[in-house]
Chains A and B, each alone.
Chain A
Amino acid sequence: MPVAARFKSKNSSRRRSEPELIFGDLWEFDPAPESADPKLLRRYQLFIGGKFVAPKSRNYFPTISPGTGKPLAEIALASPADVDAAYAAAAKAFPAWSKLPGAERGKYLYRLARLLQDRAREFAVAETMDGGKPIKESRDFDVPVAAAHFFYHGGWADKLAYAFPGATPQPHGVVGQVIPWNFPLLMLAWKIAPALATGNTVVLKPAETTSITALKFAEIVQEAGLPPGVVNIVTGAGETGAAVVNHPNAAKVAFTGSTDVGKLIMRSTAGTGKKLTLELGGKAANIVFEDAPLDQAVEGIVNGIFFNQGHVCCAGSRLLVQESIAEAVLKRLKNRVSVLRVGNPLDKNTDIGAINSKEQLDKIAGLVKAGRAEGAEMFQPKCTLPRNGWYFRPTLFSGVEQSHRIAREEIFGPVLSILTFRTQSEAVEKANNTAYGLSAGVWTEKGSRILKMSTELKAGVVWANTYNKFDPASPFGGYKESGFGREGGKHGLHDYVKLT
């Protein structure tokens, strides 16, 4: 019985702070692993022209489960020759696919959505095992939202003329797409759904650490009876990605990933006439005003930075708190972070799963070290981490200066940098003081302030009294060095058509 909960109260002389429940270790959580079968294969092949084919090089690479550090399966390594074959298949499929009546194309997309829903749990487990994200996220967010993207775009396929008044939309042709490891299946959906709805065919490369759900999706493409070559999936690392991006038959290239790689792609496509959209990094400000609903804001801050271990391009990694409430917010945050459950991604109670790779873990650790060296004050809860696999404690840095690396560079991990501000204009200035411009958060009970802030923030997405919300109908994409183009909504379609 948890009767030993202590009530603490301080500062009763001025304003009585709220009593705070501290349960300590009174409750132990039993393990609650998700046990659905992910139906993994020992070895995955490339998906080209509607068939699973062995790579010409006969080379395979292991994909490691970050939750355990153990190999899960072998993935085919696509060479430029394989990428070439994928483009040939996509080019062959394009004429018939693009001429198919929109309503018929749409029906294929609806099928993909339904088949994905049918196999949702299996996909969620596979996603969590391969990528390290908590099962509650892959189950309740990644997979259902991916299915929703196909469903949404299925409906656009025969209504494109309504989206572009005064112009005739035409597909580009074969689209080369390269996606990241943080939302493997969802990013695939964001890329493939609008491309197919508008009549393009695709060659897609998933990230090398998270290929499995893309190849399971290829099974669904077969189940849906999609014409061979409309969707081709090639796996591998940077060299394969370069072959996809630089292929002469790519009429358009769509990339989601880091700003550094985005710039490489801009450079390599410069002067080629290829259409390009980039969804890149961020260093989003999550701004909390003194009139914010505080409990809700604390939950939002936690969701903003610890969702998916902070492996989110739009993560609210810079918390800007109004000075008058900074102390109270920090205290609540410390309490909240102390009860986050870090561990086995497959456990249904896990809040923070595994860091996607050893490489990423080292990068996070390096930036945290820099944060301490530059004089910011660090807080980490004393949770125990699993012995195997790659994990990082949720980390708060207070007293962060704008010049600190942890306030400027994208950490892509569960690390929050906290800065303060006095006035609204100071908040805007600090929020916009970055090369990025993907997203921002605003917490206040005042509607007019939300709209004013939204007008002044240089960011493609502004969340008010919420954070990290996504919807197929809501355009997503950045300003400045966070890239260009939008994904989702009417605006996302524009980047997959040429208007004549």
Chain B
Amino acid sequence: MPRLTISKTPKCYVGGKFIRSESARTFPLNAASGEFFAHVPQCTRKDVRNAVEVAAKAGGGWAGRSAYNRGQILYRLAEMLEPRSAELVDALKLGGATPSEAKAEVTATIDRIVHYAGWTDKYEQLLGSVNPVASPHFNFTVTEPMGVIGVVAPDESPLLGLLTCILPAITAGNSVVVITSESAPYPAIALGEMLATSDLPGGVVNLLTGFRKEMVPTFATHEHIRGIGGVVSADERKTLETGGVESMKRVKIFNAADAIDWRAGDGPKASLYAIADFLEYKTTWHPVGA
């Protein structure tokens, strides 16, 4: 007699824990074949607010770690993904990717994590500066993370696109609240399980599944989200840029219409400048003299 398999209840990875939506709502996810697969949490604006709260709490500790330590933790994340590649390939195939496409996306994702792991203790040397001012001051510019960044992940490339948007922000010491791919949320569910076993502190990456139209407006107006990244439609751009006015958010988003090749190079933008998107520059004038 064939054994009945145990199917998984997908949960979102938020604050280092696996949660259902506070609303208890779900939406059905079908495999590419059309067959029912699972019920996925349909997160709400309240879930966004909760996630921002845990992200804000986690942010200080993450930003305060040494750059070397952050690099090792990101590398550890790649170590967690590599042996679970097959699971990620299956998650991508569920959304319609061919086996070879899925495999290529997973390996590119792991390599991208390693790429950013190497940036943590280097971007400061390239983006910071010592400035030769015409007065007796040691004048220098250093970078600082912005805080909580909202990421609207692209619908396509639900794993590589997702991580290409998340990695620069967390490399810079920010914490992120992410709206995952709406059409293919399952790779983000699987990723959450791998994040949980990495050494990345809970709350640094928070992944919410659900409908963009329900969560994007809250991203736009939430006071504690300091910057927005990701890939959006023209309408979503308008919503985010208009809603972000009052709290003067740094909105650094790409247009979905631009058909981004996520596998090319570092993603849509050279990685150093993708990191710079979610940094602030602070310039200090330190006196020189007796």
A residues adjacent to B (C-beta < 8 A): 148, 164-167, 262-263, 266-267, 269-271, 278, 447, 450-451, 454, 459-466, 469, 471, 473-477, 479-481, 483-484, 486, 489-491, 494, 499
B60 to chain A, nearest CB (A): 11
Known: A270-B242, A471-B131, A483-B248. Is A165-B285 also a contact (CB below 8 A)?
no
B141 lies within 8 A of A270 (CB):
no
- Chain A neighbourhood of B250, CB < 8 A: 484
CA distance A481 to B241 in the complex (A): 15
A127 to chain B, nearest CB (A): 21
A165 lies within 8 A of B126 (CB):
yes
A460 lies within 8 A of B282 (CB):
yes
- Chain A neighbourhood of B272, CB < 8 A: 165-167
19 contacts between A and B (CB under 8 A): A164-B273, A263-B248, A266-B248, A270-B237, A271-B237, A271-B241, A450-B284, A450-B286, A459-B282, A461-B283, A462-B285, A466-B135, A469-B133, A469-B285, A471-B131, A480-B248, A481-B247, A491-B281, A499-B270
B238 lies within 8 A of A464 (CB):
no
- Chain B neighbourhood of A166, CB < 8 A: 270, 272
- Chain B neighbourhood of A447, CB < 8 A: 286
A287 to chain B, nearest CB (A): 14
CA distance A466 to B283 in the complex (A): 13
A72 to chain B, nearest CB (A): 32
Q: Does B84 make an interface contact (CB < 8 A)? A: no
A473 lies within 8 A of B245 (CB):
no
Q: Does B9 make an interface contact (CB < 8 A)? A: no
Q: Does B264 make an interface contact (CB < 8 A)? A: no
B residues 236-290 near A (Cβ < 8 Å) are 237-238, 241-242, 244-248, 250, 269-270, 272-273, 276, 280-287
- Chain B neighbourhood of A479, CB < 8 A: 280, 282
- Chain B neighbourhood of A473, CB < 8 A: 131-133, 139
B residues 205-247 near A (Cβ < 8 Å) are 234, 237-238, 241-242, 244-247
- Chain A neighbourhood of B139, CB < 8 A: 471, 473-474
- Chain A neighbourhood of B276, CB < 8 A: 494
A475 lies within 8 A of B281 (CB):
yes
Interface centre among A270, A461, A475 (most CB of B within 10 A): A270
B116 to chain A, nearest CB (A): 14
A270 lies within 8 A of B284 (CB):
no
A266 lies within 8 A of B283 (CB):
no
> Interface size on B (CB < 8 Å)?
34
- Chain B neighbourhood of A481, CB < 8 A: 247-248
Q: Does B137 make an interface contact (CB < 8 A)? A: yes
CA distance A454 to B285 in the complex (A): 9
Q: Does B6 make an interface contact (CB < 8 A)? A: no
Q: Lowest 6 A-B CB distances belong to which pairs?
A: A271-B238, A270-B241, A471-B133, A270-B242, A473-B131, A465-B287
CA distance A499 to B131 in the complex (A): 23
B141 lies within 8 A of A489 (CB):
yes
Q: Does B129 make an interface contact (CB < 8 A)? A: yes
Q: Does B24 make an interface contact (CB < 8 A)? A: no
B135 lies within 8 A of A471 (CB):
yes
B241 lies within 8 A of A489 (CB):
no
- Which of B131, B241, B286 sits near A464, CB closer than 8 Å? B286
- Chain B neighbourhood of A262, CB < 8 A: 248
A499 lies within 8 A of B273 (CB):
yes
A282 to chain B, nearest CB (A): 13
CA distance A480 to B224 in the complex (A): 11
Q: Does B134 make an interface contact (CB < 8 A)? A: yes
- Chain A neighbourhood of B280, CB < 8 A: 460, 479
B130 to chain A, nearest CB (A): 9
B141 lies within 8 A of A271 (CB):
no
B115 to chain A, nearest CB (A): 12
Which residue of chain B is the closest to A148 with respect to CB atoms?
B134
A269 to chain B, nearest CB (A): 8
CA distance A454 to B284 in the complex (A): 7
Known: A271-B238, A473-B131. Is A466-B284 also a contact (CB below 8 A)?
no
CA distance A483 to B245 in the complex (A): 10
- Chain B neighbourhood of A471, CB < 8 A: 131, 133-135, 139
Known: A165-B126, A471-B134, A490-B129. Is A476-B283 also a contact (CB below 8 A)?
yes
B287 lies within 8 A of A466 (CB):
yes
B141 to chain A, nearest CB (A): 5
Known: A474-B139, A489-B129. Is A464-B282 also a contact (CB below 8 A)?
no
- Chain B neighbourhood of A459, CB < 8 A: 282
- Chain B neighbourhood of A477, CB < 8 A: 281
- Chain A neighbourhood of B134, CB < 8 A: 148, 471
CA distance A475 to B139 in the complex (A): 10
B270 lies within 8 A of A167 (CB):
yes
CA distance A148 to B245 in the complex (A): 34
B245 lies within 8 A of A266 (CB):
yes
Given contacts A450-B284, A475-B131, 20 further A-B contacts (CB under 8 A): A148-B134, A266-B245, A267-B245, A270-B237, A450-B286, A454-B284, A460-B280, A460-B282, A461-B284, A462-B282, A463-B285, A465-B287, A471-B139, A473-B131, A473-B132, A473-B133, A481-B248, A484-B250, A489-B131, A499-B269
CA distance A314 to B250 in the complex (A): 21
Contact with A along B139-164 (1 / 0, CB 8 A): 10100000000000000000000000
Which residue of chain B is the closest to A462 with respect to CB atoms?
B284
A271 lies within 8 A of B242 (CB):
yes
- Chain B neighbourhood of A460, CB < 8 A: 280-283
CA distance A474 to B135 in the complex (A): 11
B134 to chain A, nearest CB (A): 6
- Chain B neighbourhood of A270, CB < 8 A: 237-238, 241-242, 245
CA distance A476 to B287 in the complex (A): 18
- Chain A neighbourhood of B137, CB < 8 A: 466, 469
CA distance A148 to B131 in the complex (A): 14
- Chain B neighbourhood of A489, CB < 8 A: 129, 131, 141, 283
- Chain A neighbourhood of B245, CB < 8 A: 263, 266-267, 270
A481 to chain B, nearest CB (A): 5
Interface centre among B234, B269, B285 (most CB of A within 10 A): B285
CA distance A11 to B48 in the complex (A): 60
- Chain B neighbourhood of A462, CB < 8 A: 282-285
CA distance A267 to B246 in the complex (A): 9
A233 to chain B, nearest CB (A): 28
CA distance A451 to B286 in the complex (A): 8
B156 to chain A, nearest CB (A): 21
B residues 37-83 near A (Cβ < 8 Å) are none
A469 lies within 8 A of B282 (CB):
no
CA distance A278 to B270 in the complex (A): 24
CA distance A451 to B134 in the complex (A): 21
CA distance A160 to B287 in the complex (A): 30
CA distance A152 to B25 in the complex (A): 59
